[in-house]
Chain A
């Protein structure tokens, strides 16, 4: 259950789940660029269409998608309200003392909200359909060109992988230590800031010590299994480009073309 909660991955075997993570990451980048390039609702509509299309093939229920929006709902409302009141326009619709709402502000705010909405939905679709592990693999693979400038891509990837591996273990451990100290009368819920910070010490110290002990043992175990950096290393899991990714590429290309087309189209109208 803890894994489900972590990284909000939604386990399924859909078309989108099976796509190459590199593809999905690139797709997300292009999608974000497209959303930002969109200057009107037509272009945004095109983005939304592509999103709905992908979401439909992802097997992720609509409710799970919406839940991810919930996390940024406050930000969304805050920005909307701010924009609504302070965007200066000409056609005043409603006015009270120094606050006024203009037609332009309404339009602009709706546009901004829609754009933000699409961005959040798009990114969460990536994390919902890709396990943290393959996401890390994808990032490593995409960063490979950086090896030319001696950037330690492989080491970075290994660090990411080990960190992901130890999250559930350390979460469990934190829970256990907290319970043990609670049983000894520790109180984490009441008191002022300083008292609460102090109350964390009996959790933090054992946790840190255990993390060091674990890392030492892990280091030995890695040494014993012949780990010696990236020099001779091969990789078992190669990300492979499949027909799925070809289709995805076409969609990405189509999206970009559509957005640019719609952009120039509306520009020529003006």
Chain B
């Protein structure tokens, strides 16, 4: 049976008056339709992935399905009920649950079970039955042990599982996930997707997964691509997602496994499409075998050791034995940092990896003295060393040549030299115009700055982040698109020309193309603007593709600092430490187990080149 059926559905967010005003003399309307004539059918029990860039209309589709919005024209039938008829609204909402993007903004209660009870309470289900439904829902998402927990203490993935449970407790037949994984780290994404797959298979719930991650769409029965309010492609995910060029037209990309296989094929080594690391490796092996290459050994290549050491320490960070205690002198004292040793060289594109609570955020906040070393506090008075007691090891922290353990250091000047971009920086915008907002930092740091200097600096900063100064300067930052806002926020930090730019999860919440754009922007900034860029990230692929060096944080310490090539070479060790590795590293590992050792730096590009180079050798004896 059809679970959902859209017939020629149109929807516009513009009000009726606007629509009238937009009709020209011939009565032809020029209304902006968020959905423009959509025909869309989902069968019961099906798992459909809906892909599309921002503004393609995919979220509107979700909201129309359960009556949060009503169509301007066309028919929507949900489980045989007319969704445009208000009298079925309640019934439809019971049958169609939606999980939204932000895990924090869909929970009403401060205790998990109370929140899950919210839906059943609303429709008047008796108490005993609600208890059973909570059991069922928590069980289905694997969160039983968190029944009495506080949502704000859970991880992002756990919060979204609670949100799914909250929807499940209404026993819906259809579940829509509206970019429910967009704000999660890779681990949280996997948690949520696993739960959704299980619900589809075991509970036979119809799933509509709205996402901008092509990897997630691969798991569906059918993929639908939307653009400009229309459905432009649909079919089996493998087939749709391998159409790289066509996807590009709609600002989408193929998933990494397919991209690797396709690019190798384009180069001349025909490799069948793989779905995951194992199958990609298998297909590469098959292709190489065909060319008579059965084994390969990676030559132990000496890495060129280019230790860039600026003599004056400008642009670099030297940190020795940095310790930081939250709630010191109280029973809740916890060591956020417990002896961190780390060197970041001038010119690095440095990655900081680690789980939530590993100390990476605390460390990063030390770099521009948002958190201070105790000896740098105003109140600090040096204690006389006690006789007989061993001296605690000395802490050293030098950033861009400034000594951060010395309280006489000019911390304001330091802050202008060490720029800090926090997660979701677009949420800090506040001024009336883009110009004012970007200039905020500059005016704070340099009281004597003239209007002309401000304008020149803001223009340069905006142009560096790829925005048109004249076009954007007088606009309100709140009228911009999400991607533009993030760029403006970054411009507001680099406007003081910092030597070091630190970014916490700069690509969080963006679609794959947006991520690539931000990363290439950061490379541009590092080559033209700042000496050094430091990013904090959960995403190992991001680290492997972009960083020349990276440090792994765990339990307030630095586990290892090395090049991504060496860090990710030992896949098992990383996985043992509870950390993920890039996709390319998984492929290399699988290939090695098949007797084909390829030594690459784990960027996708290098993997492809080295594999192709291997294919060119005779018998695979030699390898680059």
Within residues 168 to 189 of chain A, which ones have a CB less than 8 A from any CB in chain B?
168-169, 173, 176-177, 179-187
Stretch at the interface among A107-115, A233-241, A243-251, A256-264: A233-241
Measured in the bound complex, the distance between the Cα atoms of B109 and A132 in whole Å is 11
Residues of A within 8 A of B105 (CB): 213-214, 217-218, 221
CB of A155 within 8 Å of the partner chain: no
Measured in the bound complex, the distance between the Cα atoms of B118 and A223 in whole Å is 11
CB of A71 within 8 Å of the partner chain: no
Measured in the bound complex, the distance between the Cα atoms of B416 and A166 in whole Å is 33
Measured in the bound complex, the distance between the Cα atoms of B416 and A232 in whole Å is 58
Residues of B within 8 A of A235 (CB): 121, 127
Q: Are A236 and B114 in contact (CB under 8 A)?
A: yes
Measured in the bound complex, the distance between the Cα atoms of B108 and A182 in whole Å is 32
Measured in the bound complex, the distance between the Cα atoms of B151 and A164 in whole Å is 12
Which listed residue (B100, B104, B163, B440) contacts A184, Cβ 8 A?
B440
CB of A195 within 8 Å of the partner chain: no
- Distance (Å) between the CB of B113 and the closest chain A CB? 8
CB of B94 within 8 Å of the partner chain: yes
Produce 1/0 per residue, B124-160, CB < 8 A to A: 1111001100100000000000000011110000000
- Distance (Å) between the CB of A161 and the closest chain B CB? 6
Measured in the bound complex, the distance between the Cα atoms of B166 and A227 in whole Å is 13
- Of A131, A214, A225, A227, most buried by chain B (CB within 10 Å of CB) is A225
Which listed residue (A164, A169, A180, A227) contacts B104, Cβ 8 A?
A169
Produce 1/0 per residue, A184-219, CB < 8 A to B: 111100000000000001100110011001100110
Which listed residue (A164, A227, A232) contacts B110, Cβ 8 A?
A164
Residues of A within 8 A of B440 (CB): 181, 184-186, 202
Stretch at the interface among B293-301, B423-431, B461-469, B580-588: B423-431
- Of A161, A165, A177, most buried by chain B (CB within 10 Å of CB) is A165
CB of B422 within 8 Å of the partner chain: yes
Q: Are B108 and A165 in contact (CB under 8 A)?
A: yes
CB of B123 within 8 Å of the partner chain: yes
Decide yes or no: A185 and B100 within 8 Å by CB, A1-B332, A225-B170, A236-B121 being known contacts: no
Decide yes or no: A228 and B122 within 8 Å by CB, A133-B111, A185-B416 being known contacts: yes
Residues of B within 8 A of A179 (CB): 365, 370, 420, 422
Measured in the bound complex, the distance between the Cα atoms of B365 and A182 in whole Å is 11
Decide yes or no: A237 and B365 within 8 Å by CB, A169-B104, A185-B412 being known contacts: no
Tell me the dominant secondary structure on chain A's binding face. Answer: helix
Q: Are A217 and B109 in contact (CB under 8 A)?
A: no
- Of A158, A162, A237, most buried by chain B (CB within 10 Å of CB) is A237
Q: Are B100 and A238 in contact (CB under 8 A)?
A: no
Closest to A171 in B: B152
Decide yes or no: A183 and B420 within 8 Å by CB, A4-B332, A218-B106 being known contacts: yes
- Distance (Å) between the CB of B556 and the closest chain A CB? 16
Residues of B within 8 A of A220 (CB): 63, 68, 100
Which listed residue (B167, B327, B444) contacts A186, Cβ 8 A?
B444
CB of B546 within 8 Å of the partner chain: no
Measured in the bound complex, the distance between the Cα atoms of B110 and A206 in whole Å is 24
Produce 1/0 per residue, A1-36, CB < 8 A to B: 101100000000000000000000000000000000
Q: Are A224 and B98 in contact (CB under 8 A)?
A: yes
Produce 1/0 per residue, B409-449, CB < 8 A to A: 00010011001101101011111000000001100110000
Q: Are A161 and B68 in contact (CB under 8 A)?
A: no
Q: Are A180 and B127 in contact (CB under 8 A)?
A: no
Decide yes or no: A3 and B326 within 8 Å by CB, A228-B90, A236-B131 being known contacts: no
Q: Are B119 and A226 in contact (CB under 8 A)?
A: yes
Which listed residue (A1, A183, A187) contacts B493, Cβ 8 A?
A183
Measured in the bound complex, the distance between the Cα atoms of B94 and A91 in whole Å is 77
CB of B620 within 8 Å of the partner chain: no
Measured in the bound complex, the distance between the Cα atoms of B105 and A234 in whole Å is 23
Closest to A218 in B: B105
Q: Are A224 and B66 in contact (CB under 8 A)?
A: yes
Residues of A within 8 A of B114 (CB): 133, 161, 236-237
CB of B120 within 8 Å of the partner chain: yes
- Of B108, B428, B431, most buried by chain A (CB within 10 Å of CB) is B428
Residues of A within 8 A of B123 (CB): 226, 232
- Distance (Å) between the CB of B567 and the closest chain A CB? 28
- Distance (Å) between the CB of A30 and the closest chain B CB? 28
Query: Known pairs A181-B428, A226-B170. 12 more at Cβ < 8 A?
Result: A3-B150, A133-B110, A162-B108, A165-B107, A176-B427, A186-B440, A206-B430, A217-B106, A226-B93, A235-B127, A237-B114, A237-B117
19 CB contacts below 8 A, A to B, read A1-B326, A133-B110, A133-B111, A161-B109, A169-B152, A180-B420, A181-B428, A185-B496, A210-B427, A217-B100, A217-B105, A218-B106, A223-B93, A225-B118, A225-B167, A228-B122, A232-B123, A234-B124, A236-B134
Residues in chain B within 8 A of chain A (CB atoms): 63, 66, 68, 90, 93-94, 97-98, 100, 102, 104-111, 113-114, 117-127, 130-131, 134, 150-153, 163, 166-167, 170, 326-327, 332, 334, 365, 368, 370, 412, 415-416, 419-420, 422-423, 425, 427-431, 440-441, 444-445, 478, 492-493, 496
Residues in chain A within 8 A of chain B (CB atoms): 1, 3-4, 131-133, 158, 161-162, 164-165, 168-169, 173, 176-177, 179-187, 201-202, 205-206, 209-210, 213-214, 217-218, 220-228, 232-238
Closest 10 CB pairs of A and B: A185-B444, A221-B106, A184-B441, A236-B117, A232-B124, A183-B420, A205-B430, A217-B105, A225-B119, A226-B122
